[in-house]
Amino acid sequence: MIGMSVLGSTGSIGVSTLDVVARHPDKYRAVALSANRDVDGLEKQCLAFCPDYAVMADAKAAQELEQRLAGRGLPTAVLAGSAGLETIAALPGVDYVMAAIVGAAGLLPTLAAVRAGKRILLANKESLVVSGELFMREAAAHGAEILPIDSEHNAVFQCMPANFQQGLGQVGVTRILLTASGGPFRAMPLKQLVDVTPAQACAHPNWSMGRKISVDSATMMNKGLEVIEACWLFHTRPDKVKVVLHPQSVIHSMVEYQDGSILAQLGNPDMRTPIAHAMAWPERIESGVGSLDLFEVARLDFEEPDLARFPCLRLAYQAIEVSGTAPAILNAANEVAVDAFLNERIPFSRISGLIEDVLNQLPAEQNPSFELLLEVDTQARRLAEQLVAKQV
């Protein structure tokens, strides 16, 4: 039996993970679940999965959950805060940790799982964006296996040769081709982008996801974060990672080889496929996702992304070129900007400008420690907040 901790179990990825777990009660057990402050959601999951531990990041919510679970006679121990998250990431009875907290808040618990040498099912791309180099170094030092959940990176992983860790050049790989749907505003006239609402930005044409990543998809910052994520996961440079607009979201990404071959992974846009892949790897298990009907898909389109329409993608390429603390600054400013947009404090069209202003005002430093990265994250958030406040 494989024990799993699910960090962020009430979110979009967390719910899909538990759906796959529930399909294989003979193979996987949810040992620990966690959420930020969604007491109702975590209570329901505890009733269904009876985990040993449940963690609420919010202390008050933890108290409330503890009372409710005791009232129902459940033996689940309730922990609180970042200490609780780090505890369930490193439990002896846990083999796999699903890292599905959204944002840089996922970094420390995911790092705790890495340091405990677990198999990490990595959905929380922000932790790699903030600290990719150190994160991968820690994983190697502690023998933690990193399996990508992000559909593009999971697709790339599936198309890579087994020995890709030797270096992409060594194994004949020339480029990673990351596909992107272009989000809900791919074809909207630029002038109209000023007035789009959070609800419009969160209505992704192909994928159903949490609100932050939905806005990231609409700005294409999501793809920018994924370029950075790909550089660290596959030990390569940004000029070897090409973004390809592919509106149907059927090809989840591709790997190009020096002999002219391109290998692609296709499937219905449902995160249970990459989740099941990473849970079972190197084997395969049923995920609940139906087979792709190629006759219904009928055609596949590809376009070059327009960096004038999607300045966030350009900013992400620039940040990974600069490297050091720049991607952490980019990520922190983006989290504040997206939150401000979702709370209707800034218009959609201001998101990229706000991030660029923060990047311009905070100089990047090279070879940062984790401590410096966390400090820079705080500084960048503070500056971004000030810029939002100035504007309102």
Tokens 């947009």 identify what position? 341
Q: Is cis: bond before 282, omega within 30 of 0?
A: yes
**Least distance (Å) between residue 101 CB and ligand NAD:** 4
Residue ranges in the chain assigned as alpha helix (H): 12-23, 39-49, 59-71, 81-89, 107-115, 125-142, 151-159, 198-201, 211-219, 221-233, 272-280, 294-297, 311-322, 326-342, 351-361, 370-391
Q: How many CA atoms lie within 13 A of 51 on its CB side?
A: 30
> Footprint of Mg ion on residues 148-177 (CB under 5 A)?
150-152
**Least distance (Å) between residue 268 CB and ligand NAD:** 13
Are 94 and 121 in contact by the 8 Å Cβ rule? The answer is no
Nearer to ligand NAD among residue 206 and residue 361 (C-beta)? 206
**Least distance (Å) between residue 366 CB and ligand NAD:** 26
> Footprint of Mg ion on residues 80-99 (CB under 5 A)?
none
**Least distance (Å) between residue 37 CB and ligand NAD:** 7
DSSP string, 32-83: EEEESS-HHHHHHHHHHH--SEEEESSHHHHHHHHHHHHHTT---EEEEHHH
The CB-nearest residue to Mg ion is: 150
205 binds, among ligand NAD, Mg ion, none (CB under 5 to 8 A by kind): none
Nearer to Mg ion among residue 300 and residue 374 (C-beta)? 300
Nearer to Mg ion among residue 12 and residue 36 (C-beta)? 12
| Spatial distance between the Cα atoms of 383 and 392, rounded to a whole number of angstroms | 15
111 binds, among Mg ion, ligand NAD, none (CB under 5 to 8 A by kind): none
Nearer to Mg ion among residue 90 and residue 271 (C-beta)? 271
Are 194 and 285 in contact by the 8 Å Cβ rule? The answer is no
Nearer to ligand NAD among residue 125 and residue 381 (C-beta)? 125
199: tokens are: 């609800």
Interface positions with ligand NAD (CB under 6 A): 8-14, 35-36, 38, 57, 100-102, 105, 123-126, 150, 207, 209-210, 212-213, 271
Of 35-43, 142-150, 165-173, 243-251: span binding Mg ion (CB under 5 A):
142-150
**Least distance (Å) between residue 190 CB and ligand NAD:** 26
**Least distance (Å) between residue 7 CB and ligand NAD:** 7
217: tokens are: 């998809």
Binding site for Mg ion (CB under 5 A): 150-152
